Amino acid sequence: MRAIVIHQARDLRIEAHAEEQPGPGEVAIKLATGGICGSDLHYYNHGGFGAVRLRQPMVLGHEVSGHVTALGDGVSSLAIGDLVAVSPSRPCGHCSYCGQGLRNHCENMRFYGSAMPFPHIQGAFREKLVALESQCVKADGLTAGQAAMAEPLSVCLHATRRAGELLGKRVLITGSGPIGSLCVLAARAAGAAEIVVTDLSDAALAYAGKVGADRVINTRTDPEALNAYAAGKGSFDVLYECSGAAPALAGAIPTMRPRSVIMQLGLGGDMTLPVQAMTAKEIDLRGSFRFHEEFAVAVKLMQAGRINVEPLISHTLPFEDAVAAFDLAGDRSQAMKVQLSFA
């Protein structure tokens, strides 16, 4: 079996990897599709992000789907041949945070393709994967590419839950990468009345428009465009900050209404915040980290036709072309979501 392994920055290899067999409560999956995520790109381009560094070779990938090929003892909800979306979230179920229902904060989380712990948690970009039955959600009616989008969509659904009531609200989204564009879909499904998206790239903003943003603004070419939204102490009820860039957050504060909510999804490093302005407006700053129970909801929303992720899948390349695919995924002028085909 082959897997996509990162050794250090810009050193990505396709290597032989040991094949596993499913144990009790597990299934074997022939991978169909894997999406390249921003964190995968950080490992590829920089060898990590923030204080997290690669200390050993690691299989990348956590946005995956595939077909069940074998069942371990006790598996009852899946059948051989099923297309499944595979959640990378594997909390221990026993720590204090799991006991409180905060499984995304599990102290012993085994999240695919993560260098946070050591030894690293190996990822899912491999031809064959063994996963827990509980990780797998049947994806009948979806393509393998759509099923692999359940993971990033879950990130946005988790943030939307954290944001609170969105029915009839005005929403600003800063950063129109895959997460920002998926937040357009999540916010609209939750009842947002108006959605404005900002970015520095016209190509990225075009995708936000495709999935339903009411207005897109290139703040590089039109830096004054947000000023109109600052009138009367601000216009927006909720900000999804998806860029991880301090200037994007600071530039959005004047447009936020008193007692509005900022959902911080972007992970670009520590920021200097305009705390006085946020305090005067009584703005809530809320973090959003990963997801857990939202994963099955993401699949169901796609199956019901309430969320269509297809316009965001810009490229699909054979996994043998992994290096070219990672280079393409890092080019915002060309790509939105690049996926790898393992079929």
168 Cβ neighbours under 8 A, 6+ residues apart = 191, 192, 193
Residue limits of CATH 3.90.180.10 in the chain: 2-149+309-341
Query: What CATH architecture is 2-149+309-341?
Result: Alpha-Beta Complex (3.90)
pLDDT at 269: 72
Give CATH 3.40.50.720 domain extents, the chain: 154-287
DSSP helix, strand, coil percent of the chain (3-state; round to 5): 30, 30, 40
CATH superfamily of 154-287: NAD(P)-binding Rossmann-like Domain (3.40.50.720)
Mean per-residue pLDDT pooled into runs of 10, the chain (343 residues): 97 95 97 96 93 95 98 97 97 96 95 94 98 97 98 98 98 97 98 98 97 98 96 97 94 97 88 91 96 97 98 98 98 96 93
**Are the C-beta atoms of residues 237 and 260 closer than 8 Å to each other?**
yes
221-254 pLDDT per residue, tens: 999 999 999 999 999 999 999 999 999 999 999 9
- β-bridge partners, 315: 338
Task: Give the number of other CB atoms < 10 A from CB of residue 238.
Answer: 28
Residue 284: the pLDDT is 97
CB 154 within 8 A of CB 298: yes
pLDDT value, residue 50: 81
For 103-115, the DSSP string reads GGG-TT---SSB-
